[in-house]
């Protein structure tokens, strides 16, 4: 069966040309298949430089992979005819991080909602289009009369981000890629936005790829998680397993570094792994080896494959080399399928 959206062995390398000799491997051999029946939320988590935004851009067709293919409904998005490309663009929607930058300050908020309605002829008449917009705004918890007719600066960050959720939903997409959708929104509004994203996507049969640096919200809203480190998958699987009993030393470090909102559960004072590692030769070694407290000789020789440590989890770490190797393109085999 073909998945809705599928990245297969995708690698993105920046630079390396005549002018930029230094090559940066932003993402290496990344595979992921997403379906929308039943709808699921998959989190891609990593720190800056982990390749999570590159993964989002590849899935959205905004960046062309150096190697590997991204397929929509079984077809390579970079060689599909214009008509199908348009369908892909409608079916796969995005919500970006910054609810300030995506608006043109000279246009009213209405503009970002009317444009897709007109472009994709979502409504037969202007009035019907208006009704559709108002209905969608109400779904994300905004009152149309307090939102439409205003300029972006007259709305708060939380309202603006909700308008973006509404814009994405307007197109009745099958998949939404949300790149840090709440990192610029105040805490008291963050929960509301994520909750509405989760509820709506379930109701409307939309799957979500949730890109974030925040393990806590990833745990709260997603079923499965992929932890990226310097462009490769460190650990992937069911979100509860990965977050509560992390196997990869990097995930362990990440989880132990979260400032928990609980004064009785504080950071142990012992020092974590070193902050900046030696620039290890990433083409041959595990990328975490230079910071890893458990590094062994083999870690410096070749990058570890994914080892399937549990039914619903795999970790790219030689500590688990007894476990069966899982080919990267089969990484989704460990994911749980949400019950409808």
26-29 long-range contacts, CB within 8 A, separation 24+: 26/51, 26/54, 26/231, 27/51, 27/54, 27/55, 27/58, 27/228, 27/231, 27/232, 28/231, 28/232, 29/68, 29/232, 29/328
Per CB under 8 A, contacts with other proteins among 169-188 are 186-188
Q: Does 227 bind other proteins (CB under 8 A)?
A: no
Q: Does 138 bind other proteins (CB under 8 A)?
A: no
Burial of 179-188, coded b for 16+ CB within 10 Å and e otherwise, reads bbbbebbeee
Q: Which residue of 67, 86, 260, 302 would you call a contact of other proteins, by CB under 8 A?
A: 260
Name the phi and psi angles at 210, rounded to 5. Answer: -105, 110
Q: Does 337 bind other proteins (CB under 8 A)?
A: no
Q: How far is the CB of 110 from other proteins (least distance, A)?
A: 20
Instruction: Report the residue number, 176 or 193, with the smaller CB distance to other proteins.
Output: 193
Q: Does 294 bind other proteins (CB under 8 A)?
A: no
Q: Which residue of 17, 21, 48, 81 would you call a contact of other proteins, by CB under 8 A?
A: 48
Q: How far is the CB of 234 from other proteins (least distance, A)?
A: 13
Q: Does 244 bind other proteins (CB under 8 A)?
A: yes
Q: Does 142 bind other proteins (CB under 8 A)?
A: no
Q: How far is the CB of 289 from other proteins (least distance, A)?
A: 16
- Pick the closest to residue 320 from 330, 333, 307 (CA basis): 307
Distance in angstroms (rounded) separating the CA atoms of residues 113 and 142 = 13
Instruction: Report the residue number, 104 or 154, with the smaller CB distance to other proteins.
Output: 154
Stretch that binds other proteins, among 5-13, 28-36, 153-161, 165-173 (CB under 8 A): 153-161
* Nearby residues of 339 by Cβ (< 8 Å), 6 or more positions away: 38
Half-sphere exposure of residue 121: CA atoms within 13 angstroms, side-chain side: 3
* Neighbouring-strand partners of residue 175: 92, 207
Q: Does 276 bind other proteins (CB under 8 A)?
A: yes
Fill in the per-residue mask, 185 to 214: x = in contact with other proteins (CB under 8 A), - = not in contact.
-xxxxxxxxxx-----------------x-
Instruction: Kindly give the pairing relationship between strand 207-212 and strand 175-179.
Output: parallel
Q: How far is the CB of 147 from other proteins (least distance, A)?
A: 12
Q: Does 289 bind other proteins (CB under 8 A)?
A: no
Q: How far is the CB of 6 from other proteins (least distance, A)?
A: 28
Q: Does 267 bind other proteins (CB under 8 A)?
A: yes
Q: Does 339 bind other proteins (CB under 8 A)?
A: no
Q: Does 157 bind other proteins (CB under 8 A)?
A: yes
Distance in angstroms (rounded) separating the CA atoms of residues 159 and 54 = 27
Q: Which residue of 9, 47, 84, 110 would you call a contact of other proteins, by CB under 8 A?
A: 47
Return the structure tokens found at 224.
């499965």
Beta strands in the chain (DSSP E): 5-14, 24-34, 41-45, 67-72, 75-76, 92-95, 175-179, 207-212, 224-229, 232-238, 306-310, 313-315, 325-326
Instruction: Report the residue number, 8 or 50, with the smaller CB distance to other proteins.
Output: 50
Q: What share of the chain is helix, strand, coil (3-state, %, to 5)?
A: 35, 20, 45
Q: Does 338 bind other proteins (CB under 8 A)?
A: no
For binding to other proteins (CB under 8 A), which residues are involved? 47-48, 156-159, 186-195, 213, 215-217, 219-220, 240, 243-244, 253-255, 257-264, 266-267, 269, 271-273, 275-276
């Amino acid at each position: 069966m073909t998945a809705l959206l599928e990245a297969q062995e995708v690698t993105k390398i920046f630079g390396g040309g005549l002018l930029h000799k230094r090559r940066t491997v932003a993402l290496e051999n990344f595979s992921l298949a997403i379906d929308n029946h039943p709808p699921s939320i998959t989190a891609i988590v990593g720190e800056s430089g982990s390749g999570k935004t590159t993964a989002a851009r590849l899935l959205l067709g905004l960046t062309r992979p150096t190697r590997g293919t991204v397929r929509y409904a079984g077809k390579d998005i970079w060689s599909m005819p214009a008509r199908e490309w348009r369908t892909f663009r409608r079916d796969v929607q995005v919500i970006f991080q910054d609810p300030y930058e995506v608006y043109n300050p000279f246009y009213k908020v209405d503009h970002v909602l009317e444009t897709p309605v007109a472009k994709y002829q979502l409504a037969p008449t202007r009035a019907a289009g208006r009704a559709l917009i108002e209905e969608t705004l109400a779904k994300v918890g905004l009152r149309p009369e307090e939102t439409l007719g205003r300029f972006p600066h007259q709305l708060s960050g939380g309202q603006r981000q909700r308008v973006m959720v509404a814009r994405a939903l307007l197109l009745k997409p099958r998949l939404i890629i949300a790149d840090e959708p709440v990192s610029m929104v105040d805490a008291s509004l963050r929960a509301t936005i994520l909750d509405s994203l989760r509820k709506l996507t379930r109701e409307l049969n939309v799957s979500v790829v949730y890109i974030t640096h925040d393990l806590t919200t990833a745990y709260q809203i997603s079923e499965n998680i992929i932890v990226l480190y310097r462009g490769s998958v460190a650990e992937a699987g069911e979100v509860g397993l990965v977050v509560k009993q992390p196997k990869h030393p990097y995930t362990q470090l990440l989880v132990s570094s979260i400032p928990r909102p609980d004064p009785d559960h504080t950071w142990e004072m012992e020092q974590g792994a070193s902050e900046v590692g030696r620039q290890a030769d990433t083409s041959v070694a595990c990328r975490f080896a230079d910071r890893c407290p458990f590094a062994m000789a083999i870690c410096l020789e070749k990058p570890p494959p994914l080892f399937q440590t549990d039914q619903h989890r795999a970790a790219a770490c030689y500590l688990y080399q007894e476990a069966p190797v899982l080919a990267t393109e089969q990484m989704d085999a460990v994911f749980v399928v949400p019950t409808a």
